Structure 1
Amino acid sequence: MNNPIQPPSGLFLFDKPKGITSHDAVELLRRKLFIKKIGHTGTLDPMATGLLILLVGSATSVQASMQGAAKVYGGTILFGSETDTWDAEGKVTAEAPPPALDGKALEEAVKLFNGKIIQQVPPYSAIRLNGKHMYKLARQNVAMPEVKREVFVRWLSWAARPPALDFEIECSGGTYVRSIAHEMGRQLGSRAHLAALRRLSIGAFSVKDAVTASALAAMPAAEALALLRPVPGGAGA
């Protein structure tokens, strides 16, 4: 008896460009492969670039487990102004003189946001309150309670370029890097927002192995299918 042909499934490593949503990235791969059942392992904001793991076919079954994987980001915090979205996409809501970004004060601030921390979720986020996304409530100017969560952050490196701070961190799934920028600005007696962000890795997967949007657009569907990777541990196969 012949075994039925299994539909394509696996992980597709995509290097998301700035300016598109994670859902836009899913749609790009859907149109390329003519496969509707595609998801991803963790949202990247439109402003952010870097690794987005797209789950094809039965691989979508591991979405929840892979969302918790550790992630590495590189980015820039800009001091002197705060925005409503806590990143460069938002409207400036407050300004203050930027800190010196040198010496013990900066080291102490980094320590405060290193290890296990409690962070506030940005009002413009996909977290749901009473069944509604917070970003939708924020756009409607609906008053919301502060939502906080415990996350783990490890600073790998940082370098001051006043009024900016470049950094590379490793963090647990669900961490909002925007929150670190927002709260660090206030900790240093100023205001700040996330000016740039790039996701460098998710677990063992690196953006160095990811396909860019231009490369995906140029390749035939068969080549894109050949780039699907097996799900770690064989789950979702």
Structure 2
Amino acid sequence: MNGILLVDKPLEWTSHDVVNFIRRRFRIKKVGHAGTLDPIATGLLVLFLGQSTKSIKDYENDDKEYLAVMGLGCKTFSDDGTGEVITHSIPAYIPESRIRDVFSSFVGTIEQVPPHVSAIKVNGKRSYKMALAGEIAELQPRTRTIYSLEILHYNFPYIIFSMACSRGTYVRKLCSDIGVKLNCSGYMSNLIRVRSGKFTLSDAVSIASLKSINRDDFSNFVINQPDALALRCDKKTELRRYAR
């Protein structure tokens, strides 16, 4: 079976967990994905099946769009809610106008130093493995683009926001960097990917639904590549759908 499958990745599953599930349940040898989602993140994971795995390289540079929740006053080892808390001190109330000014300063081309808890290799070693062993690697900044960064709701000390960005942008590191610029700590507490290139979360199928169908019905969820090329998405509608 060849084609593209859009999956709504559940919380705590790795991207590889989803790949293995599809391989085993529907007996498909070749399954790959374009764009990893961390276990703490949910939302759109674009899978490629069979001969379509050869096309992953054509999609892996697609820009992404997310909904995220940021917490103020806490710094964690991994820059998200799963990591060990390093410091925790709720700051004095920060006016929304100040937060909007800081958010605006990150729109455009930025130089982002990746988080130490990441899969980036340093001298052949994964950075996260080095960090867990107490060895902090010196990671070089990487040029990334933030196309849009919009605050949707502010309820101190939490900020719900949407963002569109280039491939390889770490949302949790962005939250940490925003916290630094606000003169307090910051971390990412929740993340949903709502778009990858032209594919949107509203067209994705849940793992629960996939568990309830057989191989014949599974083909109804697979998009062939000519159809994929014709897809279009309404970004604003997609964000409103998941920002409720």
Q: TM-score, normalised by structure 2?
A: 0.88
Deviation >4 Å, runs of 4+: none
Unaligned regions of 5+ residues in structure 2, if any? 231-244
Give the conservation status (yes or no) of the 8 Å contact 2:116–2:136. no
Letter in 1 for 2:21: L
1:175 aligns with 2:169: yes
Identity of aligned residues (%): 32
Q: CA RMSD in A?
A: 1.5
1:1-237 aligned at under 5 Å gives the runs 8-98=1-91, 100-153=93-146, 154-231=148-225, 232-233=228-229
Q: Name the amino acid aligned to 2:157.
A: P
Q: Deviations over 1:119-161 (max 9, x none)?
A: 1101111111122221111111112103311111111443211
**Distance in 2 between the 1:34 and 1:130 partners?**
37
Instruction: Return the alpha-carbon distance in structure 2 between the equivalents of residues 99 and 67 of structure 1.
Output: 41
Distance 2:145 2:92 in 1: 25
The answer on whether the counterparts of 2:65 and 2:165 sit within 8 Å (CA) in structure 1 is yes
- Which whole-Å CA distance do the structure 2 matches of 1:148 and 1:91 have between them? 24
1:196 aligned counterpart, secondary structure: strand
Number of equivalent positions: 227
Structure 1 range deviating more: 9-18 or 139-148: 139-148
Deviates more, 1:169-178 or 1:110-119: 110-119
Inter-partner Cα distance in structure 2 for 1:70 and 1:91: 30
Residue 73 of structure 1: SS of its match in structure 2?
A: strand
Are the aligned partners of 1:119 and 1:151 in contact in 2 as well (CA < 8 Å)?
Answer: yes
CA distance in 1, matches of 2:183, 2:219: 51
CA contact (8 A) 1:78 1:194 kept: yes
